[in-house]
Structure 1
């Protein structure tokens, strides 16, 4: 018998159809002894979101009515590493959400270095994925799937869409992209990757610790005062959202 997934708080992004499914699956996993957690927190700006209507509040389920970026600004800004806090906290992303974790590390960089240019640059290079599109906000969306994936796919070793082995891994592709950019002379650090993996009962998560480590990577990249860039991605095995955070050089102090 497999050990239960042990978490502290689990934050579900959105209370719509996806969030309702994820929160419900987490409750089932806990009931059946497959997961242990303190509470599930569903974050949605709608006080009457579907998850609240269908699932309701419970001793281990709470609802927060806020914009996502405001909520994560507070949560992550005050978060402690799991080593200090005990069991780690996790985030359950939505397939339809913007690149929220990048937006947080971007905001942190601007707070940290108010006198330096902090910009979102286009992600250069070729990741080698069949699907590759850049959004208006310069987020580059990449995927190894050029087909419609099954809903709530957990990305197993055998891809259910094609019925054969999954021979790709997005983390390898993004790390390879960063290495090629550095080899071409680009001052690129990272990548800082927030990797969503199947955790329990069809629910994919990444740890809050991973986001804090990404923020630490950005801080380290800018500490020397030289211009730098950090490749940041929220990814799974098959799909990803990538951004390039560019840090301008620090101004020399006036003599």
Structure 2
């Protein structure tokens, strides 16, 4: 089987993402390198190399409560998360629902970013009239026809990193998928719902899936910490679906 390659933007060597020695994020895009020396040259003068090889846009999945009756302070906190995601050049992915994910999408839209909604519906008409979900904050709506629960896997697997905001049992399900699949996860402290309970829940799991969790109450800081960890650690094993798989059974 032919293996799809990527190109080091500095030396132009072709490599696979799983065999890259280093990775760097710039403008919300990921660039992979054959050596730390090439990465360091890129970081010194990124503009000189951006047109040498394309970088992939990194995606952030924001999962949280679809309840529209949220505290104004929490809605503003999640809105500011959307602004932070857009300002870093990242692509937002949500379940295209009302509530906190919609507040985040509004922040992305107002900051001029890109937002993708993974709809449970089969069409725009069904999205609006059956699921009572908004459509005005998204650049793209992907119609899965999978229903509210079925689209959760698509949400998580389409995201390079996942952020949990508020939420109840449905959000806990999305968190569990992300955790079991070894994703990088951020938790927005102070956003209510299950976020205050997650440390104890994770401790009760008693297993290591390769997932790494970062907690912070400040949206800008949380996004920055996630990106730093992704480019220094997570890019080597972005999920359990890679060469060095770990046992996440149980």
State the TM-score bracket (shorter-chain normalisation).
0.3 to 0.5
TM-score, normalising length from structure 1? 0.36
TM-score by length of 2: 0.37
Q: Which has the higher contact order (CA 8 A, sep 6+)?
A: 1
